[in-house]
Amino acid sequence: MRSLYFCGIFLYRPTFPLKSDDCYLSRLKKHLSLKSNFQEMNKTILKATYIFSLLFSCQLLSAQHRVAIYKIDYSELKSGLSSDVNRINAQNLKSVTDQIISFYTNDDRFVVIDKANYDLIKSEQERQKSEDFIDGYIVEQGKQEGADYIFYTKYLRKEKTLSLRIYDVATGDVFCESEQELDLILGVIKDARSKTYHLLNKLNSECFGLFFSVVRSLDKKAGPKTKTLLIAMGRNHKIKESHEVEIFRIAKEKVGEKELNREEVIGKAKVEEVEDANFSQVKVTKGGEQIASHLKNNEQLYCRIIVD
């Protein structure tokens, strides 16, 4: 009996003497049968090894983003108002940081480094207010924390907006930024929570290109139009009933020598029930026929929250 060792796997190769006796044929059949069985076993092992390597590669490709989230900078908050107004505004803005941390903590695509109790810019900003200095200082802090991205939020008093800037620690550049106008009534910031949620969903879509999978149709009978869908978006993703989502597919477009992805919106839906941490049911409000057609062809569809 001989065996060959290849890539960490023993491959069996049976051997036998060639004799011209009456038992030769029966022994030959026996060994050929044994050889066939071991060949099938070796094929199975090789296939399993190949599948494992693919899964491992996919895991590496889908690495999580490490984000460091710092305390909001509300140094521009107007101090000329009454003490009660100042206190309420300060509380509303402080809660923004907690909301950002909570928003990303339960999303398995992110690893959150909570630096909410650390003043990112500290007193250096007061002594040297140049934007280049601030950017460089933030990126250096990100390197020390082992973060991929730094989230820096600031309240802009004159513009009455909430600004969120994301720094790419590897390049030192501003990766993405967006602003959200805040409502003020008699100087008091109103509805900061919903405005922040709106801003974060916009950043997820525009900056990180994040979206979620459509799992399947929940219609009891397949028809020309899809009425209800199950989507892989739940409480962990801060989705709520009455939220609207757009349904889209990813089409391939050839541009010169390159093949590029293009998102093709095919419908809309409204969240009817948030089932658990990971799934929700949505009622299709537009594009039911197109959605049904693509699902019938076993095409993968995706969705994301509509941000106006």
- Note if the pTM is more than 0.75: no
CA 188 to chain centre: 34
Report the distance separating Cα 273 and Cα 275, nearest Å: 6
Q: Coil, strand, or helix at residue 75?
A: coil
User: What six digits make up the tokens of 231?
Assistant: 């989507």
- DSSP 3-state assignment of 261? strand
Per-residue pLDDT of 175-230, as tens digits, reads 999 899 999 888 888 888 888 988 988 888 888 878 899 999 999 998 999 999 99
Q: How far, CA to CA in Å, does 295 sit from each of 175, 248, 267?
A: 35, 12, 13
Give percent of the chain above pLDDT 90. Answer: 31
> In this structure, which amino acid lies at residue 265?
V
In three-state secondary structure terms, 160 is coil
Say which residue, 134 or 204, is predicted with more confidence: 204
Consecutive H or E run containing 67: strand 65-70
* Six-digit token string for 206: 């525009």
Residue-wise pLDDT for 23-82, tens only, equals 555 655 555 565 555 556 555 544 444 444 344 333 333 468 889 888 888 888 866 667
Q: Dihedral of CA 77/82/83/89: which sign?
A: negative
Helices (H), the chain: 24-61, 83-105, 124-127, 131-145, 192-206, 288-296
219-264 tens-digit pLDDT: 999 899 999 999 999 988 888 898 999 999 999 899 988 898 888 9
Question: Whose CA is closest to 160, among 70, 76, 86?
Answer: 76
Radius of gyration of the chain (CA): 29
